[in-house]
Chain A
Amino acid sequence: MDFKPSPERQILFDTLKKYFEKEYSLSDRNIAAHSDLGYSKKAWEAMRDLGILESLIDPELDGFGGTALDISTVFEALGRGLVVEPFLEVGILAAKVLSKGNDVQKSLVKKILKNECLPILAHSETDTEYSKSFVETKLSVEADGSYKISGAKRMIKHAAEATHFLVTCRNTGDASSEAGISIACIPTDREGIKIDSFATIDGGRVSDLTFSNVSISSEELVGELGMSYSIVSDAIDTGILAICSEALGIMERIKELTLEYLKTRKQFGVPIGKFQAIQHRMAQLLVEIEQARSSVINATIYFDDETEKEKTISAAKFSIGKIGTLVAEESIQLHGGMGMTWEYDLGHYAKRLVLIDHEFGDEDFHLQKYISL
């Protein structure tokens, strides 16, 4: 038995960690994350040069990674850095979907690596419906064999800057049925698309999208008509693994920040970390964080096991949701007033950690799913 990452992955993690510590200042990040763009193009380009995207993508599409362990390693590092640039949206969600497409679509993955395009998956439709198969956006077949899509997507991150949308839509079946789901890959300047963007609490921008009779050709479908649920599902599962790992990196960084604070902040003449009431809360956090890490390791181990995958993914997302909120709230409490300030790093990590529970299904959703499996 051995739980250590391979030497190559350890080097990758260490390199990224050092890079973020030196080159990715939180104050610059916060300005970019809450700007009109929602991230920094300069930082995005600099980080791409490090090969982060390649490490998320299969060798056959010009990457050099893409396994569950690669993804988990990289996203833990991204979490430590509180990176807001669209690695999840482009490097995981869009790239996973496009890798199942035709040659033109596959070539978009290679273009992602060359910074020639920014495709974004437009899937989620309602605010509180987390089911992966929930799609009401309508795909209608025209007389000439071409298609039109109409519907609305909500809370699509980094959509305003996208070059392509990968729009899920259905021509048959109920709103939550797995059968009948298609994906259309279309340029974002196609007629009939409306984009309304919002600022977010944790950084980056989100958009609501409206599609009104948007024309698409049959070559623009990713996969077969009505048969693309498994493509979306696989992309989202990979996304869950990625943000669970991101959450681990955030928790580790929060642990460091909090410990440092407990050792330096003095009250009643001693560092507050000398008080047992504080020590026990912190010790409990450490215990919980180790359990969170184990849940992600478990999901990584079973990621390629079709029978165990969904159950371990849901167990991990549940654990991360429950423990993440606890770690965020406790670390703010342990920092006292300092934890409440915009200027100090902690609050920004805490916000992202809590909001991760709102992505791809929260702890209640995944607990119910775990029970149903």
Chain B
Amino acid sequence: MDLNFTKEQENFQIEVRSFLSDNLEPQVVEKVKNGIPITKEDSERWHQKLNEKGWLAGTWPKQYGGQEWDVVEKFIFEEECGSAGAPRIVPFGVGMLAPVLMKFGSQEQRDYWLPRMLTGEDWWCQGYSEPGSGSDLASLKTSAVRDGDHYIVNGQKTWTTFAQHANMIFCLVRTSTEGKPQEGISFILIDMNSPGIEVRPIITLDGSHEVNEIFFSDVKVPAKNLVGEENKGWTYAKYLLTHERTGNANVAVSKRKIQKLKKLADDAKKNEQPLSNDPMFASRLAQIEIDLQNLEITNLRTLASVENGEAPGAESSIIKILGSEIEQDIDNLTRKSLGKRAFVNEPDALSSGYNGAEVVPKAAAYASGKYFNHRKKSIYAGSNEIQKNIISKLMLNL
């Protein structure tokens, strides 16, 4: 057993840390650390900084502008970003579509789309879920019918994160109704500015706008935008989902949030004592800390097995369940720790245009909002029930 990073890995960690401290914008970090949503422009500026350093897509091959990071380097980078309060890299292009194009796309597609992800010319979103196809994704109905050099797309996608920012969407569409549902799905890239596309916002219970519905009415898509072969899209989608489900441990982010929560509890009073001295509160907090400490080791065990050449299987499902539940537990306790202040909902309180009353403590601006917003964590990226199905099938062989 050897839990230490190698000398090279340690040096890399130091390099990442110093890059972050030199390049992160304090006002953006303050938003992130107080759980407040950042703007599209905040993300774009951060992406650009990372791209100048060559770290926007660190796991990519060098020929496409990446660093060929292995799982441990990726882990180190993400953990350092998490601790520092860096904005999360918007994953749809560099983290999700790119691996699919590299494995299944044509050379022409790679040469055209990959550089544009790095420069930020394209902002991608993901067209998977439909009103009737959530966990049962393979039942999707949005159709693409070949018509000469084009496909004609009709149907509806939903829960599309950041569709309001995106100029491109990668979609799963039905190109055949023969055979099993999985066998008639294709993977296609669609310009969001095409005639016939309408984006409608879905406002979530916390009042924020992250997700959208998209309606497709006779949308003309060039046939060269098909990725791989027609009707093989399910294979590509599954490949993408394995990328989506890694990196869900969020240990560093959760650690940072616990530190923040401790500070809040030191400053809050209950029975004329700091809330942190309250035995009920201390017990809840300690249990979360221990769960997180255990998850950190569980996550490292998975990383080590990948580093040593074993394929990550349903372990990523274990991590997804634990990572989402622990983060939800922290958000829950943060909300509780604010007492009556938890009624406040001023998510713009840290934005430049805000001219309302100052919210103290700052974390109260969106703590309850964040708590409700993060109920999504056990629902998205394959609900935790779906993760249990995967564990049952792949690990328990039931």
Separation of A280 and B396 alpha carbons in the complex (Å): 11
Answer whether residue A365 sits at the interface, using C-beta atoms and an 8 A cutoff: no
Separation of A271 and B398 alpha carbons in the complex (Å): 9
Separation of A279 and B317 alpha carbons in the complex (Å): 14
Sample (19) of A-B pairs whose CB atoms are under 8 Å apart: A2-B308, A5-B1, A263-B397, A273-B392, A279-B398, A282-B398, A283-B388, A283-B389, A283-B395, A286-B391, A286-B396, A287-B321, A287-B322, A294-B297, A297-B1, A298-B294, A301-B3, A315-B290, A315-B294
Q: A69-B1, A273-B398, A294-B295 are in contact. Are A1 and B300 (CB under 8 A)?
A: yes
Top 4 closest pairs, chain A to chain B, by CB? A294-B297, A283-B388, A279-B392, A273-B398
Answer whether residue A360 sits at the interface, using C-beta atoms and an 8 A cutoff: no
Chain A, 96-146, CB within 8 A of any chain B CB: none
Separation of A99 and B380 alpha carbons in the complex (Å): 55
Q: A276-B389, A279-B388, A279-B392 are in contact. Are A4 and B1 (CB under 8 A)?
A: yes
15 more contacts with CB within 8 A, not counting A1-B5, A283-B392, A367-B287, are A1-B72, A2-B1, A273-B396, A290-B318, A291-B298, A294-B294, A294-B298, A297-B1, A298-B297, A315-B290, A315-B293, A318-B287, A319-B290, A370-B289, A371-B283
Answer whether residue B2 sits at the interface, using C-beta atoms and an 8 A cutoff: yes
Determine how close the nearest CB of chain B comes to the CB of A120; give it in whole angstroms.
32
Q: Report whether over half of chain A's contact residues are helix, strand or loop; otherwise say mixed.
A: helix
B348-391 contact mask (Cβ, 8 Å, vs A): 1 or 0: 00000000000000000000000000000000000001011101
Q: Give chain B residues whose Cβ lies under 8 Å from the Cβ of A315.
A: 290, 293-294
Answer whether residue B282 sits at the interface, using C-beta atoms and an 8 A cutoff: yes
Query: What residues make up the interface of B, taking CB atoms closer than 8 Å to A?
Result: 1-5, 72, 282-283, 286-287, 289-291, 293-298, 300-301, 303-305, 307-308, 318, 321-322, 385, 387-389, 391-392, 395-398
User: Judging by beta carbons under 8 Å apart, are B388 and A3 in contact?
Assistant: no
User: Judging by beta carbons under 8 Å apart, are B398 and A370 in contact?
Assistant: no
User: Judging by beta carbons under 8 Å apart, are A371 and B301 in contact?
Assistant: no
User: Judging by beta carbons under 8 Å apart, are A3 and B300 in contact?
Assistant: yes
Q: Within the complex, which residue of B2, B286, B294, B303 is in contact with A370, where a contact is CB–CB below 8 Å?
A: B286
Q: Give chain B residues whose Cβ lies under 8 Å from the Cβ of A92.
A: none
Determine how close the nearest CB of chain B comes to the CB of A270; give it in whole angstroms.
11
Separation of A292 and B5 alpha carbons in the complex (Å): 24
Q: A279-B389, A287-B322 are in contact. Are A1 and B303 (CB under 8 A)?
A: yes
Chain A, 245-295, CB within 8 A of any chain B CB: 259, 262-263, 271, 273-274, 276, 278-280, 282-284, 286-287, 290-295
Chain A, 1-32, CB within 8 A of any chain B CB: 1-6
Q: Give chain A residues whose Cβ lies under 8 Å from the Cβ of B318.
A: 286-287, 290
Q: Give chain B residues whose Cβ lies under 8 Å from the Cβ of A69.
A: 1
Chain A, 221-265, CB within 8 A of any chain B CB: 259, 262-263
Q: How many A-B contacts are there with CB distance less than 8 Å?
A: 112
A282-326 contact mask (Cβ, 8 Å, vs B): 1 or 0: 111011001111110110110000000000100100110000000
User: Judging by beta carbons under 8 Å apart, are A291 and B291 in contact?
Assistant: yes
Q: Report whether over half of chain B's contact residues are helix, strand or loop; otherwise say mixed.
A: helix
Q: Within the complex, which residue of B307, B321, B322 is in contact with A1, where a contact is CB–CB below 8 Å?
A: B307
User: Judging by beta carbons under 8 Å apart, are A295 and B293 in contact?
Assistant: yes
Determine how close the nearest CB of chain B comes to the CB of A5; give it in whole angstroms.
7
User: Judging by beta carbons under 8 Å apart, are A262 and B295 in contact?
Assistant: no
User: Judging by beta carbons under 8 Å apart, are B1 and A3 in contact?
Assistant: yes
Q: A1-B303, A3-B1 are in contact. Are A282 and B290 (CB under 8 A)?
A: no
Determine how close the nearest CB of chain A comes to the CB of B20; give it in whole angstroms.
22
Q: Give chain B residues whose Cβ lies under 8 Å from the Cβ of A273.
A: 392, 396, 398
Nearest B residue to A9 by beta-carbon distance? B1
Nearest B residue to A2 by beta-carbon distance? B2
